[in-house]
Structure 1
Amino acid sequence: MLRAEDEFASISKDPRIAYALWAVLGIIGGHRFYLGDTGRSIAMLFTLGGLGVWTLLDGFFVGRRVRTVNHRRRAAVMARHGIIEPANPRHG
């Protein structure tokens, strides 16, 4: 269990970093690159954040996206180590 927790800690994403990237590089999708959303990042890069619209909207959703990414990564790590956790009611 400790090995799995260590592995997850090394790959989990920090919401403070995601928000900082959104604030500084949001128009070119920096926060989405950080979270691994490569396709959307490239779309934001070439459209300047959907002319700023996607960038503004992402400000409301960055925290939720970080939680979703971390939840999926944690589930994958735990599954690799044969640890089954109960489903989180907020994330299904």
Structure 2
Amino acid sequence: MDLTAARAEFEYDGVKKNPRVAYALWCLTGLFGGHRFYLGDTARSIAMLFTLGGLGIWTLLDVFFIARRVRTVNQSRRATIMARHGLVEVAG
């Protein structure tokens, strides 16, 4: 691995989100959107905060979507970092 790729991977490791943390936040602060704040979904977090998780409905549904949202956020962050370092990822 060359130095640029190693730097990019190091940078990505510093910003990637952990699904366990997201689920823990869902358990502790789900009604207030804590897991969404963690994932950077600020507008939805604020909506959950003021509606108590859509009266609990959004909170219950989120348990099924957290893992996918973490993957999506991480893929987006990785692609951004790789592009910034001039590296192109191969889909696969």
TM-score greater than 0.5 by the shorter chain: yes
Instruction: Report the count of equivalent residues.
Output: 88
Could you say which residue in structure 2 is the equivalent of 1:73?
Answer: 77
Is 1:14 paired with 2:14? no
Could you say which residue in structure 2 is the equivalent of 1:36?
Answer: 40
Secondary structure at 1:60 match in 2: coil
The answer for unaligned runs of 5 or more in structure 2 is none
Rg comparison, structure with higher value: 2
The answer for unaligned runs of 5 or more in structure 1 is none
Percent identical among aligned pairs is 68
How far apart are residue 86 of structure 1 and its match?
A: 1.5
| Aligned equivalent of 2:52, options 48, 57, 73 | 48
How far apart are residue 6 of structure 1 and its match?
A: 0.1
Query: How far, CA to CA, are the matches of 1:87 and 1:31 in structure 2?
Result: 28
- The normalised TM-score by structure 1 is 0.94
CA displacement 1:47-90 (0-9 Å, x = unmatched): 000000000000000000000000000000000000000235xx
- The normalised TM-score by structure 2 is 0.94
In structure 1, what residue type is equivalent to 2:50?
Answer: F
Give 4+ residue runs of structure 1 displaced > 4 Å after superposition: none
| Aligned equivalent of 1:58, options 62, 66, 70 | 62
